[in-house]
Structure 1
Amino acid sequence: MVRASGPLPRRHARRANAPTPDERLMTTLGRAAPQDMPPVSGIGIETALEAMAPASKLAIAADLDCWLDWCAHEHRRALPADPEDLVRYLRILEADGKKPATLSRRIASLATVHRILDLGGELPPTSAPMVRNALRAQRRRKGAAQRQAAPLRFGGALGGAGGFTISALLEACSSDVQGVRDAALLSLGYDAGLRVSELTAIEIKDLRPQGDGTGLLHLPRSKTDQEGLGAWAWLSADTMRRIAVWRSESGISEGVLFRRVGVDRRRERAKEIADARWGETDEAGASLLVTYTVGSEPLTRQGVTGIYRRIALGAARAGLVDLPAGELDTAIKTLSTHSLRVGLTQDLFAAGEDGAGIALTLRWSSPSTALRYGRQLQVQSGVAARVLSRVRS
C-alpha cells in the first residue's frame, strides 16, 4: 500500500504569450539553482539547450516545476536532490495514480537538470539504487504497459475496422472551407503516419506533386531525427486532390499548410437582402451569413485533437459509424493526435507487412515500437495463427 504525505505537484499549464522553450527552461533552472552552487559554464548550458528539442525543454521545465513545488512544501533541498526525497516524491506521484512512464520521465528530467548544472558528480542522485528500485517496484505493482491511443484505421476498401474510421470521418467532413481543411488534414495525416508535431509543421514547400497524381512529402525534422537529416513520405492521389481543394479555398500559396479557420455566423437583419452567401439557417429559421477567416498560424496539438473529435461526433450523428449503445463518449475521448499514426500501423500489419518495414516507413524509433502498436493484429497473423488455422478451422 503506497501512502502519500503532502500535496501532489501539478505540471504547470502553458499560458497565452508564453516564453520560448529556452526562456522557460532557463527561468526554471534559475529558480532551482542553489545559492551555494559553484559557477557553471555558460557555453556548457548553451550547448545543452541547443542539443534539445523544444518539446523536451518544455517537458523538463514542467517536471522541474513540480519537483520544486513539492520540495518547497516539504521544506527539502531541491538540488542536488537527496535520493530519499526522490523516493518519497515518487510515492506521492504513484499514490495519485501517475503511470510508470510518467514517473520514469520525471526522474529522467531531474537527471538532465543535474547534468546541465553539473550537480551530483559522476553518479547523480537520480541513479541511486534506491531510486531505481522505487521505479522498478512501481512498475511491478502497476504494470509497465502504456495506454495506447485509439487507432483510426482506414476502413472502407481495406475493411476489418469497426467504430471510427478514416473513411467515415472523411465522409462526415462538410464541403465548406473548414470541412475541406479537415478532410485534407485527416487524409494527409493518415497517408504519411505523421506525429502531430510533423503534421502541424508542414509547409507548402514540403509538398512534391508527382506525374501520376500522387505526391511526396518532405519532413525536414521529426522526433526521431533531431539532427535534421530529413525523411520522405508518400501521399495518395486522393490526398493530393484534397490538399489542392484546401489550398484553392483558403488561398494559401506559401508557408504553413494547416491553419486555424475562424467561423462567424451572423443572423440576417430584417431589412437586409439575402445574397448567395445567405444559406444556413438557425434553429428559429432565420438566414445566417457565414464568414470564414483563414489564419496565419499553424494549428496546435489541442486544435488537431479537437478537429478529430468534432468530426467523429458528426460521423456518429450522421450514422456513419457502428458503435454499441453508450460507448460514443468514451470512443470519442480516446481519439488523439496519435490515432492516425496508430491506425496506419495497424492497417499495415493487417495487410501482412513486417515490423521492420513498418518502422522504417513510419519513422518509428525501432521495430519493437511498431510491434507494440500492432501487437494484437500481429498475433492474429503470426506463426500459430497461420499453422493452426489450417487444422483447427
Structure 2
Amino acid sequence: MLSNKETNGSSWREAINRLEGAYSDQTLRSYRSDFAIFDSWCIANNLCSLPASPSALAAFIAAQAPELAANTLRRRLAGIRKVHRLFHLQNPAEDEDVQIAMRRALRSRTRRPRQALGLTKELRDQLAAACSTDLAGLRDRALIVVGYDTMCRRSELAALRVEDLTSLDDGSMLALIRRAKNDPFGDGRDGLVSVVSAEALKAWLEAANISDGWLFRRVNSGRVGAEALHPHSIGRILKQRALAGGLPAEIVSRISGHSMRVGAAQDMVANGADILPIMRSGGWKSINVVARYVQNVELTRLAGWRR
C-alpha cells in the first residue's frame, strides 16, 4: 500500500506521465488535477488515496457533490479510477457503496446542462461587424466566421494550421480538422469555409504575414505571436466582440467558445437540414448532444406548423 506521503510526491504523477502521447493534453491535465484534489482531501481526512478504500471514495463523492456539476463529478471519478489502474490496483469505483454514492449525488441535481447560446447567423454577423480593422480585429472576424462555417470546437479551431487549408475553384476553402476529442486517432473531417469567410481569413493572414503554421495566433500590442491562441481565449474573444457590438449583458454571459458550433447547427435545422448531415458537419458521434442543441429550433418549427 502506498502512503499519503508517497502519493503526495512524484509517484502518481509519474504514473500519469506514462500516458503521454496516448491521451490528449486536456485529458492528462484533468487526470492530474482531479487526482491531486482527491489526494489532498485524503490527506486532510487522514485517509489513504492509493489504494483508496471504497468507503473513502464514497465519502469523497458525498463531500464533493454539493459543489460540483454532474459531469465534473464523473470526471473526478474517472481520474481516480485511471490512477488505480496505472498501479494495477483494485478499482474502488466498482464497489457498490461507491456506485450508490454516485447515484445519490446525481439524483440530488437535475441533469439538464446549461447550454451555450447559439451564435446563429444574425448574432454571428453582429459580432463580426463589431470587429475593428486592426490586427486583433481582423483575426477575430476571421475566427468568428470560420468557426461558424466549420462548426469547430474551440480546441479544434485553435489547432488549425495554414497547411490544413485547401483553396477551391469557387473561392471557398476546405479546412482539415485533424483531431477532435471524440476522434483521438486523427481520422479527421473537412469543414467548408465559405467564399466570404475565406476572404476574411485571407485578409487576416496577409495582414499578419502568416504563410505557414498556426492559423489563429495571439496579438499583443499590435504584434502577432508565434503561438496559437489558447482554446479558452476563444470564448473570451467572442464575449468581447459581443460587448463591442452592443449585445445585452445577459446575452453576453451565455456566449462561450462553443456558441459558433451550436448556432451553426441551429441554423442548419432552421433551414431544413436533417440531423445526420449536421452530425457529419460538426463531427458529432452522439445524436443526443445535437438534439439538445437544436431542440428549441425544432419546437419553434413545430409551433409554426400547428398554426
TM-score (norm 2): 0.92
> Residue 71 of structure 2: which of 96, 101, 105 is its match?
101
In 1: Cα distance, 2:76 partner to 2:55 partner = 15
Alignment partner, residue 234 of structure 1:
192
Contact 1:203 1:257 in 2 (8 A): yes
Alignment of 1:53-64 (within 5 A): 53-64=24-35
In 2: Cα distance, 1:93 partner to 1:352 partner = 43
Consecutive unaligned residues in structure 2, runs of 5 or more: 1-6
TM-score (norm 1): 0.72
- State whether structure 2 residue 186 is matched by structure 1 residue 216: no
Alignment partner, residue 296 of structure 1:
226
Alignment of 1:324-343 (within 5 A): 328-343=248-263
CA deviation profile, 1:336-362 (whole Å, cap 9, x unmatched): 111111111111122222222211110
Q: Indicate the structure with greater helix content.
A: 2
- State whether structure 2 residue 307 is matched by structure 1 residue 377: no
How far residue 240 of structure 1 moved from its aligned partner, in angstroms, is 0.5
In 1: Cα distance, 2:104 partner to 2:87 partner = 29
Aligned-residue sequence identity (percent) comes to 30
How far residue 386 of structure 1 moved from its aligned partner, in angstroms, is 7.2
Alignment partner, residue 139 of structure 1:
106
Alignment partner, residue 220 of structure 2:
262
How far residue 302 of structure 1 moved from its aligned partner, in angstroms, is 3.0
How far residue 55 of structure 1 moved from its aligned partner, in angstroms, is 0.9
How many residues matched? 301
Consecutive unaligned residues in structure 1, runs of 5 or more: 1-26, 34-39, 156-164, 264-291, 322-327
How far residue 221 of structure 1 moved from its aligned partner, in angstroms, is 1.3
> Residue 89 of structure 2: which of 110, 116, 119 is its match?
119
SS across alignment from 2:65 = helix
In 2: Cα distance, 1:170 partner to 1:256 partner = 21
How far residue 233 of structure 1 moved from its aligned partner, in angstroms, is 0.8
Alignment partner, residue 265 of structure 2:
345
Cα RMSD after superposing both structures? 2.1
In 1: Cα distance, 2:17 partner to 2:170 partner = 50
Contact 1:28 1:64 in 2 (8 A): no
Alignment of 1:43-62 (within 5 A): 46=18, 48-62=19-33
In 2: Cα distance, 1:254 partner to 1:29 partner = 42
In 1: Cα distance, 2:56 partner to 2:220 partner = 49
Name which structure has the greater RCO, CA cutoff 8 Å, separation 6+. Answer: 2
SS across alignment from 1:294 = strand
In 2: Cα distance, 1:131 partner to 1:367 partner = 30
Contact 1:371 1:378 in 2 (8 A): no
Alignment of 1:1-80 (within 5 A): 30-32=10-12, 46=18, 48-80=19-51
How far residue 31 of structure 1 moved from its aligned partner, in angstroms, is 4.2
How far residue 28 of structure 1 moved from its aligned partner, in angstroms, is 7.4
Alignment partner, residue 17 of structure 1:
none
- State whether structure 2 residue 193 is matched by structure 1 residue 193: no
In 2: Cα distance, 1:208 partner to 1:31 partner = 46
Q: Where do 4+ consecutive residues of structure 1 move more than 4 Å?
A: none
Alignment partner, residue 167 of structure 1:
125
